[in-house]
């Protein structure tokens, strides 16, 4: 074996260069450079069978390069990804890149790919659990998710004109639905699809994630900056395949029908006291307009429940209308789940 000499000025990673490490991982960086990690075999082998096979003594005998007398294993993944993976492994699978509350886990699609490739099952399982929590399959869990996002929005409003918290816009802190849809299909997790598609149906098609987040120069463009400061929720529209575009179009049509028929039913329903009818119609007209503008009938119906208590209706009529709105929300959610029940 020869000492490492074939790489273009390799750099040693400061975070993962342990004096007692017994193996060196070499990963590509931009411009043809390599990054080296001196780590411990046991940290890799205890979580990953493929790593264990790779690091077997007989396998390392075929390694052509060494560094400081240690075998050097070349990995194809970028150094930045391996660095974050090591952050997770060296923090007992609950630290580093994974346990970052400020950035959604669904941005780490690369981490799922690595976990699948190297069969790092505990971390893979935890990521899937986090995905299910971020894209819930029940209406109460969805409402809790939306309440959390509303609290994040208030943080950005309180931050003033820059609109940034921890140097991030609101859109930086929210999971992006198209990537979630791809992940759901790749991992056979169809339970993520209803929430992901519903969220996508609400987003402004003019707000493209790639245009807003590709680089600092794109974010600094006046039009893009205005969208980000305003709390826009973008999506990777260009990454949607033809099939998913059709699914999205059908979902939007379904939601529009639910709003039209649901609000008409509530408008025509009998209430105990006719004197409250004007107040009821006011609530329904305002909330229907909100449903159309926001593309979010679940939110519009929830808002209407709160507004009903201030509309001047008697308690009996108020209770009836709130019950109808709550029933509409449940019906809307069940329709959403049924729409994706047999999709993959």
d(CA 331, CA 250): 17
Mean pLDDT, residues 305-334 taken together: 94
pLDDT of residue 286: 96
* Residue 168 pLDDT greater than 70, yes or no: yes
pLDDT of residue 104: 65
Q: What is the mean pLDDT of the chain?
A: 87
- Answer for the pair 235, 242: CB distance below 8 angstroms, yes or no: no
Topology adopted by domain 2-122: Potassium Channel Kv1.1; Chain A (3.30.710)
Q: How confident is the model at residue 297 (pLDDT cuts 50, 70, 90)?
A: very high
Nearest to 119 by CA among 170, 79, 159, 85: 85
Q: According to DSSP H, which parts of the chain are helical?
A: 41-45, 49-55, 57-60, 79-89, 109-118, 121-134, 139-158, 177-186, 193-202, 209-213, 216-220, 222-229, 242-268, 277-294, 297-308, 315-339
CA triple 138-287-323, angle to 5 deg:
55
pLDDT of residue 322: 95
pLDDT of residue 120: 85
**Residue bearing the bigger pLDDT, 299 or 113:** 299
Could you read off the pLDDT of 235-244 as tens digits, one per residue?
999 999 999 9
**Unique residue bearing structure tokens 């707000």:** 207
Could you read off the pLDDT of 246-296 as tens digits, one per residue?
999 999 999 999 999 999 999 998 888 888 999 999 999 999 999 999 999
Mean pLDDT, residues 217-231 taken together: 89
pLDDT of residue 197: 98
pLDDT of residue 36: 95
Mean pLDDT, residues 304-326 taken together: 93
* Residue 73 pLDDT greater than 50, yes or no: yes
- Answer for the pair 235, 210: CB distance below 8 angstroms, yes or no: no
CA triple 209-210-215, angle to 5 deg:
115
pLDDT of residue 68: 83
- Answer for the pair 43, 92: CB distance below 8 angstroms, yes or no: no
* Residue 8 pLDDT greater than 70, yes or no: no
Q: How confident is the model at residue 128 (pLDDT cuts 50, 70, 90)?
A: confident
pLDDT of residue 3: 46
Q: What single string gives the DSSP state of each residue in 151-188?
A: HHHHHHHHT-TT--BTTB-GGGGS--HHHHHHHHHHTT
pLDDT of residue 265: 94
**Residue bearing the bigger pLDDT, 325 or 57:** 325
Nearest to 211 by CA among 260, 182, 171: 171
d(CA 52, CA 218): 43
Domain ranges of the chain: 2-122, 135-240, 252-339
Q: How confident is the model at residue 30 (pLDDT cuts 50, 70, 90)?
A: confident
* Residue 211 pLDDT greater than 60, yes or no: yes
Q: How confident is the model at residue 94 (pLDDT cuts 50, 70, 90)?
A: very low
Percent of the chain whose pLDDT exceeds 70? 89
């Amino acid at each position: 074996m020869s000492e490492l000499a074939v790489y273009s000025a390799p750099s040693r990673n400061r975070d993962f260069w342990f004096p007692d490490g017994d193996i060196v991982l070499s990963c590509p960086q931009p411009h043809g450079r390599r990054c080296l990690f001196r780590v411990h075999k046991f940290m890799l082998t205890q979580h990953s069978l493929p790593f264990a096979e790779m690091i077997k003594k007989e396998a390392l005998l075929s390694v052509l390069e060494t560094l400081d007398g240690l075998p050097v294993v070349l990995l194809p993944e970028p150094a930045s990804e391996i660095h974050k993976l090591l952050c997770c492994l060296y923090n007992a699978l609950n630290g580093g890149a994974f346990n970052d509350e400020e950035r959604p886990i669904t941005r780490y699609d690369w981490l799922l790919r690595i976990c699948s490739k190297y069969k790092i099952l505990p971390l893979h399982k935890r990521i899937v659990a986090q995905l299910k929590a971020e894209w819930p399959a029940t209406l109460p869990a969805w409402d809790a998710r939306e309440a959390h996002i509303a609290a994040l929005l208030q943080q950005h409003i309180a931050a003033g004109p820059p609109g940034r918290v921890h140097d991030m816009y609101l859109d930086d802190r929210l999971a992006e639905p198209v990537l979630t849809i791809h992940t759901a299909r790749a991992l056979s997790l169809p339970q993520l699809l209803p929430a992901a598609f519903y969220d996508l149906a609400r987003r402004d098609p003019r707000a493209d994630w790639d245009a807003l987040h590709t680089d600092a120069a794109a974010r600094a463009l006046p039009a893009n900056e205005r969208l980000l400061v305003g709390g826009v929720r973008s999506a990777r529209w260009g990454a949607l395949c033809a099939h998913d575009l059709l699914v999205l179009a059908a979902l939007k049509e379904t939601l529009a029908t639910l709003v039209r028929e649901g609000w008409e039913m509530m408008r025509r329903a009998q209430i105990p006291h006719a004197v409250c009818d004007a107040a009821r119609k006011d609530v329904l007209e305002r909330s229907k307009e909100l449903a159309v503008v926001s593309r979010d009938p679940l939110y519009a119906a929830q808002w209407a429940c709160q507004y009903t208590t201030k509309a001047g209706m008697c308690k009996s009529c108020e209770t009836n209308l709130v019950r109808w709105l709550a029933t509409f929300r449940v019906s809307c959610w069940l329709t959403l789940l049924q729409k994706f029940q047999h999709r993959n």
